[in-house]
């Protein structure tokens, strides 16, 4: 597909640019669709747009490098993704360590009554770290 789109120029740089524009455009449409659905009360439609965009974007991200000889991503991109992921987890970890125990203590003392959203966020963060731990264990043994 990318080869066809860039056949006029046959430039790897152009193919890479087209690839990123397509992926980011699809993901952007998906997110905007979801938010628009939530705001306008069409949650189901927004969710369908989001899921469709997420799946199509992920599919292109997975398939495109296999369908073209152009290096759409390379080792530096991988390192950048890894470092960004590590930074994100680090920030979440520091925030979690500093906030979650305080919330539990204050809740146990009857000083606060956390809304369900906070409880959900804590469970989500806990699940994320659990998943990271499992993934780390798998990667370490491979």
Partner 1 sequence: MENDLPRRREAAGLSQGELAEAVGVTRQTINAIERDRYDPSLELAFKLAAYFECHIEDIFEPGENNDST
| Residues of this chain that bind partner 1 (CB under 8 A) | 11-13, 16, 71, 73-77, 79-80, 83
Q: Which residues contact 44 (CB under 8 A, 6 or more apart)?
A: 37
Q: Which residues of 86-107 are buried (b: 16+ CB within 10 A; e: fewer)?
A: eeeeeeeeeebeeeeeeeeeee
Of the two residues 43 and 77, which places its CB atom closer to partner 1 in the complex? 77
79's tokens: 């390192």
Q: What phi and psi, each to the nearest 5 degrees, are found at residue 117? A: -60, -40
Compute the least distance from the CB of residue 13 to partner 1, in Å.
6
User: Looking at beta carbons only, is 52 or 65 nearer to partner 1?
Assistant: 65
* CB of 16 or CB of 46, closer to partner 1: 16
Task: Please report how close the Cβ of residue 70 comes to partner 1 at its closest, in angstroms.
Answer: 9
Q: Minimal distance in Å, beta carbon 27 to partner 1?
A: 20
């Amino acid at each position: 597909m990318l080869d066809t789109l860039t056949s006029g120029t046959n430039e790897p740089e152009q193919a890479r640019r087209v690839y990123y524009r397509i992926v980011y455009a699809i993901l952007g449409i998906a997110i905007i669709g979801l938010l628009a659905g939530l705001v306008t009360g069409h949650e189901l439609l927004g969710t369908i747009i989001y899921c469709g965009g997420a799946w199509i974007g992920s599919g292109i991200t997975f398939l495109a490098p296999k369908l073209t000889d152009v290096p759409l991503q390379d080792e530096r991109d991988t390192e950048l993704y890894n470092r960004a992921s590590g930074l994100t987890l680090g920030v979440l970890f520091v925030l979690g360590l500093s906030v979650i125990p305080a919330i539990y203590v204050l809740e146990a003392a009857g000083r606060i009554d956390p809304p369900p959203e906070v409880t959900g966020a804590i469970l989500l963060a806990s699940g994320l770290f659990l998943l990271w731990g499992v993934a780390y264990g798998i990667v370490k043994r491979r």
